[in-house]
Amino acid sequence: MLHPAHLPSKFSKYWVIRRLLIYLPNKSYKRWVTMAALLAKHELSFQTQYAEVRERARAAGRLLPGTPGTLVLREGTGYSYWYRVYYFPPGKQREDLVGKAGDDAVLHAMREQIQFSEWVSRQVPTLRKLGFQVADKLTARVLLELHNEGAFQAGLVLVGTLAYMSWLNELGAVAVSARTMDVDVARKHHLAIGAPVSFLATLKSTGLPFSAVAGFTPSEPATSVKLPGTEGLRVDLLVPGKEIGAAVPVPELEWAAQAMPYYDYLLEAPVDAAVLAGWQCIPVRIPQAARMVWHKLYSSASRREAFKRAKDFHQATVLAAVIAESEPVALRDAFEAAPKGMITSIRALLPRLMAALKDYPDVAAAFESSLRGPRRGTKSSRTARVRRR
């Protein structure tokens, strides 16, 4: 891990406090700083602190929405009831019925939930200060609702920048804070739910004013929901499909999803993880990190928007650098499993990858050996083995 003593004396204090907002004394340091930041790691004690929060959140079951809140006893027509009073993003006070006065078991269970919520709400801001990736409160509200509805347990997978942020935390990596106004969720197979659940109604139950985003034509079903405003939070539902952007029915959610090429590869065997957002830690499922690297490189090679291409390329190289340090075989295994069409598109990025990773020879070599050499099981790889004999 980098230590402040290793840095030039004129570097900003922001590097030292791990926020990676770096002011350079001159341009000669730019390459060194960029690549050093790529592989900065949290101290082991910080990683342990995050792991405890994640594991306790995963064991907690349903999570309380909003602030931890307080318990209030209200008396009515001959009966008394306990309520939990709390604040709900974006700052509205709400109260939920807990149970009758005298129902000690229910009251005790709620007190334990509030105590846990209070503990998490102290831990997450601390982790943010230490440089962990933390999404905003509105994102927390959406993810928490999906978690409480059992969507991730049923097979829904969080993808995109939020999955990238989750992996940085899981791998103990420090990087420039990511920010997104999109919540991208995907499913590979029919979700394991007993009866259809309305995707739109689930998101509206957050208390946020979500509305459907109209398709490109009047006959095309909506695949996204969004909050008002040009920068309002957007939630996209995605599925594997050859024709990018095509609307695909998702009957179990009474909704439609956008088709995304090679998502069947990306969504294979997702893993349990968590997202820090607002003051919450929310259990989710995310794609394998190594598969994310290759799919993000494919996206970088095929997207039209320049800023999205740059974002995907950056996230892929950061994740690759971290994986190459901790689990180098994973990158090669994920490459071997990638569809041929994906790899063909990615190979065009090799010169750019070599330039971006020139100060990381091990990572660059991993990409070069994969993209230049034959893949296992192909005719060219079998020919190469015969020649070596």
Q: pLDDT tens digits, residue range 236-286?
A: 999 999 999 899 999 999 999 999 999 999 999 999 999 999 999 999 999
Of the candidates 57, 44, 175, the one whose C-alpha atom is nearest the C-alpha of residue 113 is 57
Q: What are the backbone angles phi and psi of residue 178, rounded to the nearest 5°?
A: -85, 155
Digit-coded pLDDT (tens) for 179-221: 889 999 999 999 999 889 999 999 999 989 999 998 777 788 9
- Token digits of residue 49: 């602190």
Contacts of residues 198-205 at CB distance under 8 Å and 24 or more positions apart, as own/partner, are 198/253, 198/254, 198/255, 199/225, 199/237, 199/250, 199/253, 199/254, 199/255, 200/225, 200/254, 200/255, 202/145, 202/146, 202/149, 202/151, 203/142, 203/145, 203/235, 205/145
The backbone region for 215, taken as left when phi is positive above 0, alpha when psi lies in -120 to 50, beta otherwise, is beta
CA distance 356 to 359: 8
173: β partners: 41
pLDDT above 90: percentage of residues in the chain: 67
pTM of the model: 0.85
